[in-house]
Structure 1
C-alpha cells in the first residue's frame, strides 16, 4: 500500500463519500441537516475554503482511508473562534497506524502556513487523545445533548 496525503480538491470524486462518513460518524451534529445538503456544503467548502480537507489515500488503488479539515467555522455558539481542526475520520481498517496524527499535523501545518497562530477543535470523547498531542482544554460545554470539550493548540 502506498499511503499518500493530498488535498481533496485534487480528488473531488471522493468528496461525497468523505462527507457521508462525517455525517454518519457525527450524526448528532448533523441531525437537522440532510446528507445531500451536507455533501453539497462540504463540496463547496473545498472551493471556498470553508472546509479545506486533507485526505489519506491508498494511492495504488485510489482508496480513501480518511481525512481531516481546516474549517473556517465549526461551532455555532463560538463564531469568535477559528480556524478549526474538524472532520477527523479514519476508516476502521486504517486505524491504529498513526494516520489520524499525520492528518492532524497536516492541517496544523496548513494553518501555520496561512499565518494562523492558534487552532481550535471540539470533541466529545477524545480530549485525552488531543491533550497528549499538545492540545489544551479551554472549557467544557453542552451541545447536541452531550458534554463536549473545547480545545486549542498553539502553532
Structure 2
C-alpha cells in the first residue's frame, strides 16, 4: 500500500508534481510559465501556501493533494482550500485520491479549521459523495465550475 508523507520531506519530487498539476489544470495556468509555477509550489511547501501531501510507492511518486491558503482569485474571502488533487493514471481506482483528500482534511482539522473549500469543473459528484456540498456554480476558464465546502 502506498504511503503518504509531506512533500516538504521529499523535495526532489516537487518539480515533477508541480508539472503534473500545471498540465492537468492547464487552463488555470495559461498565464503562468511552468518554471514560475514550480518555484511558487516549491516555496509553498515551506511558507504554508501549498502544503502538499504525496503518495509514494517506495520512492516513486503516485500523486498528491495540497492544503492551499488561496486557490480561487475571485473568492479571497474563503480558505483554506483542498487543491492540486492528482493521482497518476496507473495508480487510479484504488482509493488513493480519497486517502490524500482525507489526509488534507485531517491536517486542516489539526490546525483548528472548521471548513475547507475546493473548486472543480468536473468532479462535483465525486466530492458530493464524500461529504462536500455545493456553495455555488460559476464560470471560469471558459467552463462551468463548482465551488464546494466541507465542514470538518
Q: TM-score range by the shorter chain?
A: over 0.9
Q: Give, in whole Å, the separation in 1 of the partners of 2:3 and 2:128.
A: 26
For the pair 1:5 / 2:4, whether they are aligned, the reply is yes
Q: Give, in whole Å, the separation in 2 of the partners of 1:20 and 1:142.
A: 25
Match of 1:81 among 75, 78, 96: 78
For the pair 1:113 / 2:110, whether they are aligned, the reply is yes
Task: Please tell me the root mean square deviation across aligned C-alpha atoms, in Å.
Answer: 0.5
How many residue pairs end up in the alignment?
Answer: 152
Q: Give, in whole Å, the separation in 1 of the partners of 2:21 and 2:111.
A: 25
Give the TM-score normalised by structure 2: 0.99
Give the TM-score normalised by structure 1: 0.97
Paired residue for 1:99? 96
Following superposition, the deviation at residue 112 of structure 1 comes to 0.1
* Structure 1 moving runs of 4+ over 3 Å: none
Q: Residue 110 of structure 1 aligns to a residue in which SS?
A: helix
Q: Give, in whole Å, the separation in 2 of the partners of 1:110 and 1:28.
A: 28
Paired residue for 1:45? 44
Structure 2 unaligned blocks of 5 or more: none
Structure 1 unaligned blocks of 5 or more: none
Q: Give, in whole Å, the separation in 1 of the partners of 2:32 and 2:38.
A: 10
For the pair 1:142 / 2:104, whether they are aligned, the reply is no
